[in-house]
């Protein structure tokens, strides 16, 4: 994106809707991480530069399962950095996680792993997470 356009967007955008995510429960970890974690992080970074931003709507992946409550569960709006219970935000080091994924993929490539083996290894990596 060119610098002039970026600056204009940062000055004018007041609403961002992000609904880009994978909802496949059997997605490879590297693919899901790239879309769901890094994608949301990129949107947050972009949003933090928008001087007129009033609303950032992030539609999360798949669904939340709660068997203790019935009917429609209303969403509560949050401010940037705010959590549901007021606790400190848990920090996911996306750079470290990305490095772990890249190292695992490189090792699999060196071993000449098949696509099936790579997929299985990525799913195992996600489960260990």
pLDDT on residue 61: 62
Is it the case that residue 4 has pLDDT exceeding 60? yes
Model's pTM, two decimal places?
0.61
Domain that holds residue 117: 3-128
pLDDT on residue 14: 96
| CB contact at 8 A, 45 and 30 | no
pLDDT on residue 59: 80
Number of domains in the chain: 1
Long-range contacts of 37-42 (CB under 8 A, 24+ apart): 37/92, 37/94, 37/97, 38/94, 38/98, 41/94
pLDDT digits (tens, 9 = 90+) for 38-97: 888 889 899 999 999 999 988 876 555 556 667 766 667 777 666 666 666 666 677 888
pLDDT on residue 114: 92
pLDDT digits (tens, 9 = 90+) for 93-124: 778 888 999 999 999 999 999 999 998 898 88
């Amino acid at each position: 994106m060119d610098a002039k356009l970026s600056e204009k967007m940062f000055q004018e955008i007041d609403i961002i809707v992000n609904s880009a995510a994978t909802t496949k429960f059997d997605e490879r970890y590297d693919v899901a991480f790239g879309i769901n974690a890094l994608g949301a992080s990129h949107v947050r970074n972009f949003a933090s530069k928008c001087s007129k931003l009033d609303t950032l709507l992030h539609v999360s992946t798949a669904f939340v399962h709660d068997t203790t409550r019935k009917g429609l569960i209303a969403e509560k709006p949050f401010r940037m950095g705010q959590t549901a219970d007021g606790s400190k935000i848990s920090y996911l080091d996306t750079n470290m996680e990305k490095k772990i994924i890249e190292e695992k993929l490189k090792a699999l490539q060196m071993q000449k792993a098949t696509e099936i083996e790579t997929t299985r290894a990525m799913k195992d990596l996600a489960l260990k997470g």
